[in-house]
Chains A and B, each alone.
Chain A
C-alpha cells in the first residue's frame, strides 16, 4: 500500500526492490555496454580500472547519496529541489541539471532507435551483410532513423504515462531480462577459444600509466556517464521513495550494481574481440561507439557458432538498456512540469513533442549528434559541481543529519561524506580546467574558439553560455509558481540559508 508523502500524487514505489530495479534501469544504459569496453581498452585496460574503481567511491556514490537525499527530502524534481534546499535564487542550478539531461534525452531517443533497428536487423538475418557497413551507411542520417526515434519515444511514453507504477511495471520485467542477457553473453564470451587474451588485455595493469592524467580523466567521465550520478535522474526517481526508505545503502547498491554491469560488458566485448579478431583488436576498439557497435559487433558475432542468436540477444540487451534510461530522462522532464502544477498528461505531451522535434536533427546528422553528445556530456561535470555546491551552501553537516541519516536509514554516514562532497566539487573544477587547458594547448586559440566545430571550446562555451544566460534571466520564473507548500512533503526545508 502506498503512503501519502506529498510528491504530488501520493504514489511511491511499491517495494525497495522495485525501486532499486528502476534506479538500476536508469543508470544502466548504452554507456555501460558500448562505452565502457571501448574506453577501458583504449586506456590500457588494467591501468584504467584502478582510477575507475577509485572514482566510484569519490564521485559516483557521494553524488548518488546526495541525489537520493534531495529527492526524498524535498519531494520535487531538480529545479524544485534546488529551490527548496538553498533558495529560489538558485533555481537556475536545478534548471541546468534538468536541461542538460533533457538535451541528452533529445539525442538519446535516436540512440535507442538505432538499437531497436539493429535488433530487428539481427532477428531478420540482415546482419552483417556482404558489406559490413552497408546497413549503417544506408540507415543512419536517413528518414528511417527518424522513424525509429518516433517508435522509441512512443514505447517510453507508454511507461511514463502511468507514472511511477508504470515505470515500475516496465523496469521490473526489462531489467532482470537485461541482466540475464548480459550475463549469458559474458559467459559465452569467456568460454570462447582465446578469450583469455581479452581478459589479459582488460586486467593487466601498467602502473606507470597512472601518471597519465588522461587515464584519470577518462575514468572520471566514464563514472559520471554510466552511473548517472549528477544527472538529476536518481533525484527524480527518489521523489517516489517510500517515507521510511533507506538512502545510503540504496545509493551504494546503485553505484556498485551499475559498475558490475559495466565490468561484465567489458569482459563480454573484449573477450569476443580478442577471441575472433585478435589481429584487428586495436582497430576495433578504436572505431568509436557507433563503429564498434554497429559495424564491428555484427561481424564478430557472425563468426561465432549460433552467432545470429547471440547478436540478436546483444542488440536486445542494448535496446532494453537504452529504453529504460530514456524512460527516466522523460520522467525527469515530466516531473519538473508536474512540480509547476501541470498534469502528467500535459507534461508528457510537451516533453515528448520536444523530444521528437529536437531529436530529428540528431537523427538526420551525425555531425549534429556528435556535437550535442560532446556539449551536454561534458556539461554533466557542471551538473555534478552544482549538486556539490548546493549541499555545501546548505551546510554539509546539516544536510547529512537531516536528509541522509533520516528516518528509515539503514546506515548512518559520518563526516567522511563531508570530505567526499568537497572532493566532488574539486574534481569537477579540476577536470574542467584541465580539459580547457589541454584543448587550448592542442589546438590553439583560433581553432578551439570556432563555435561551429563538433568538438571545440567555442561550441561548448557558446551553447553553455546561451543556456546559462537564459536560465539566469528567467530564474524568477523557474522558481515558481510551484505546488502549494502543504503538498510538498517537508514544506519548508529546515535550516535553509536565507
Chain B
C-alpha cells in the first residue's frame, strides 16, 4: 500500500469509526447524567 493509501485509510476510518465511537461515548455519558438527575443523589 502506498503512503497516500495509508493516510486515506487512517483519515477515513478515523473519521467514520472514530466519529461513531466518540458520539456513542458522549451519548452514554449524557444518559448516565440524565439517569442521575432522575434518581437524585444516592445516600451512602
The answer on a CB contact under 8 Å between A53 and B16 is yes
Given contacts A46-B8, A53-B12, A249-B26, contact A199 B19 (CB under 8 A): no
B31 to A, closest residue via Cβ? A16
A259 to B, closest residue via Cβ? B16
Number of B residues with CB within 8 Å of any CB on chain A: 21
Chain-B contact segment, one of A79-87, A200-208, A318-326, A436-444:
A200-208
Most buried by B among A196, A205, A256: A256
**A-B contacts besides A49-B8, A260-B20, A263-B12, 14 pairs, CB < 8 Å:** A49-B12, A53-B12, A56-B16, A203-B5, A203-B6, A203-B9, A204-B2, A204-B8, A205-B8, A244-B34, A249-B23, A249-B27, A253-B27, A410-B27
The answer on a CB contact under 8 Å between A46 and B26 is no
Closest 4 CB pairs of A and B: A256-B20, A410-B30, A204-B5, A203-B9
CB-CB < 8 A to A58: which residues of B? none
Give CA–CA (A199, B2) in the complex, Å: 10
Give CA–CA (A244, B34) in the complex, Å: 10
Interface residues of B in 14-28 (CB under 8 A from A): 15-17, 19-20, 23-24, 26-27
CB-CB < 8 A to B26: which residues of A? 249, 410-411
Q: How far is the CB of A410 from chain B (nearest CB, A)?
A: 4
Tell me the interface secondary structure of chain B in the complex.
helix
CB-CB < 8 A to A194: which residues of B? none
Which B positions have Cβ atoms within 8 angstroms of A?
1-2, 4-6, 8-9, 12-13, 15-17, 19-20, 23-24, 26-27, 30-31, 34
Most buried by B among A16, A53, A56, A203: A203
CB-CB < 8 A to A259: which residues of B? 16, 20
The answer on a CB contact under 8 Å between A253 and B30 is no
Given contacts A204-B2, A246-B30, contact A263 B23 (CB under 8 A): no
Judge if A101 is at the interface, Cβ distance under 8 Å. Answer: no
Most buried by A among B6, B27, B30: B27
Q: How far is the CB of A206 from chain B (nearest CB, A)?
A: 9
The answer on a CB contact under 8 Å between A263 and B24 is no
The answer on a CB contact under 8 Å between A256 and B2 is no
A52 to B, closest residue via Cβ? B12
Most buried by A among B4, B9, B20, B34: B20
Judge if A417 is at the interface, Cβ distance under 8 Å. Answer: no
Give CA–CA (A259, B26) in the complex, Å: 18
Give CA–CA (A304, B12) in the complex, Å: 29
The answer on a CB contact under 8 Å between A199 and B9 is yes
The answer on a CB contact under 8 Å between A263 and B13 is yes
Judge if A341 is at the interface, Cβ distance under 8 Å. Answer: no
CB-CB < 8 A to B6: which residues of A? 203
Q: How far is the CB of A278 from chain B (nearest CB, A)?
A: 15
Give CA–CA (A200, B24) in the complex, Å: 29
CB-CB < 8 A to A132: which residues of B? none
B15 to A, closest residue via Cβ? A53
Give CA–CA (A16, B2) in the complex, Å: 42
A197 to B, closest residue via Cβ? B1
The answer on a CB contact under 8 Å between B23 and A203 is no
CB-CB < 8 A to B17: which residues of A? 260, 263
Judge if A250 is at the interface, Cβ distance under 8 Å. Answer: yes
CB-CB < 8 A to B30: which residues of A? 246, 249, 410
Give CA–CA (A410, B20) in the complex, Å: 16
Give CA–CA (A203, B15) in the complex, Å: 14
Give CA–CA (A46, B12) in the complex, Å: 9
From A53, A56, A196, A256, contact of B1 by CB (8 A): A196
From A49, A200, A252, contact of B23 by CB (8 A): A252
CB-CB < 8 A to B8: which residues of A? 46, 49, 203-205
Judge if A307 is at the interface, Cβ distance under 8 Å. Answer: no
